[in-house]
Amino acid sequence: MQQPRKITEYLEIVRQQIRWKRAQSFVLDEISDHITDQKNAFMDDGLNEEEATDKAILEMGDPVIVGEQLDRAHRPRPDWLLISMAAAMLLFGLAVQTWIGPNHLNNGAEMFQKQIIWAGIGIIVMFVGYFLDFTIIGKYPKVIFFGLCTITLASYLYEGHRMASATIYLLLLFPIAFAGFVYSMRNQGYGGFIFCMVVSSIPAYLSIFILIYLSRAPYITVLFLICISCLIILTVAVKKGWFNVRKLYAIPLMFISTAVVLSSMFIMMPGKEYIKNRILVMLNPLLDPTGSGYIWTVVHHFLSHAQFVGQGLPISGYSQYSSLEILPEVNTDFVLTYLIYRLGWIVLIGIILIFSVFIVRAILLCKKQKGVLGFFVSLAIISTFTVQCMVYINYNLGLPLMLPPVSLPLISYGGRALVTNMFLIGILFSVFRTGDLVRDRAEDATGTRRFIQFVNGQIIINIKTR
């Protein structure tokens, strides 16, 4: 029904006072609903429509003053603490690469120059994510998810081994794509829940497929990251009742499904005996100290000779070599091990502290999200970021069952890793900046078309649920 002219004029004056355009529709809807409710209440008291409209607008107040107050209340709210910590991590990473690269590596100066260029690209990409309307993820979840599947597979098939690293970082985007998918399937009952479980296995099996043919160890970590992130998202959705399924059945089913996907890697991978031996060596590197367990033996030597502050003690048997000759890929996979040995355990404490504060702060802001989509997207990014950090730290400390690292976000060397993580952080900041204005569409239990319906003994699958 068309609004009375007086209400429309009032709303237009209010709109002109609100400078942030994205907030305008949200605020005007709220004011319009409030005026309409007041008008209806006055009409119930016996006033005619024109009198009720005038009185409702009068009670609302001067539109200019109301608009100015709402303009102050509804502005983008970036979280400066998170932004400052992200900037600090990026600068620290560049400082580490400055120290390690030009001073210690043969082609270190060239690598550092490349990292500077990638950092510049990463900052641009972060701003793109920051100003991006993250609700696109909820509006076009199927297009984004299956489009990402197509791009990932095409990048592998087109370039193969040469694009292996690029494909790894494309896979890191799947948790946010899956978050949008879960959002689109909420309130769809068991059909939507099962469909989400099936969809979550697609990027996992895509990782296994690429792992088998490329034999690139980091894909094991990406597989683990995708499975854990999707499991977290789906578990939270079930616990909050967004699928209207019984938790007693749904949660065990999710964990079993995740276990099946992870175990598929060992079933499908060739050379199962090699994998078995590798796992045994992970548990005890001394079983093969000069072979599969060599790198972990070296890591343990470095850490056991590190001091709390300052240069570590000389390592017997390696005195004729520099630490960089002993420890491979020091600026990518073993940045922490090297820093601990050269500068002391205090560096590890500082890095863990800043990452922990960043993650905890992000979790607190995630929990405050009023909209389901903002909550899901931020949860997906936080889980992706956290798993990368935990795997990297675990690997550099030589702990059992070490998964090969993907990256230490914003710190370790690697352009594609830096750009991907900066993009994810940009989207995270976008959610926290504008998430309060995102309202979820009200779902009418009687009017919602479920993904799977049972009508007159027939099973109806509704592909287009939105």
292-334 confidence digits (pLDDT tens): 667 777 888 888 888 999 888 877 765 545 555 667 778 888 8
User: By residue range, what is the domain housing residue 169?
Assistant: 140-270
Q: Are 357 and 363 in contact (CB under 8 A)?
A: no
Do residues 318 and 444 share a domain? Answer: yes
137-172 confidence digits (pLDDT tens): 988 998 999 998 888 888 777 655 555 566 778 888
Do residues 347 and 439 share a domain? Answer: yes
pLDDT at residue number 288: 61
Do residues 261 and 305 share a domain? Answer: no
Query: What is the DSSP secondary structure assignment for residue 140, as one 8-state letter?
Result: S
Using 50, 70 and 90 to split pLDDT, how confident is the model at 457?
very low
pLDDT of 269 > 70? The answer is no
Give, for 387, the enclosing helix (H) or strand (E).
Answer: helix 372-396
Q: Are 225 and 172 in contact (CB under 8 A)?
A: yes
Give the 3-state secondary structure of residue 458: strand
Q: Which amino acid is at 112?
A: F
Phi, psi of 348 (to 5 degrees): -60, -45
Do residues 401 and 366 share a domain? Answer: yes
Q: Which of 423, 387, 425 is nearest to 406 (CA)?
A: 387
**Last residue within a domain, chosen from 75, 96, 119:** 75
Q: Which amino acid is at 154?
A: A
Give, for 454, the enclosing helix (H) or strand (E).
Answer: strand 452-455
Do residues 166 and 260 share a domain? Answer: yes
Q: Which of 111, 107, 117, 118 is nearest to 97 (CA)?
A: 111
Do residues 27 and 47 share a domain? Answer: yes
Structure pTM? Answer: 0.80
Report the length, in residues, of the chain: 466
Q: For residue 29, tell me if it sits in a domain.
A: yes
In the chain, how many domains are there?
3
Do residues 370 and 453 share a domain? Answer: yes
Query: What is the DSSP secondary structure assignment for residue 453, as one 8-state letter?
Result: E
Do residues 31 and 52 share a domain? Answer: yes
Q: Which of 76, 68, 75, 69 is nearest to 17 (CA)?
A: 68
Q: Can you tell me the mean pLDDT for 42-68?
A: 81
Q: For residue 114, tell me if it sits in a domain.
A: yes
389-422 confidence digits (pLDDT tens): 999 998 898 876 667 788 899 998 888 889 999 9
**Last residue within a domain, chosen from 215, 239, 270:** 270
Q: Are 413 and 332 in contact (CB under 8 A)?
A: yes
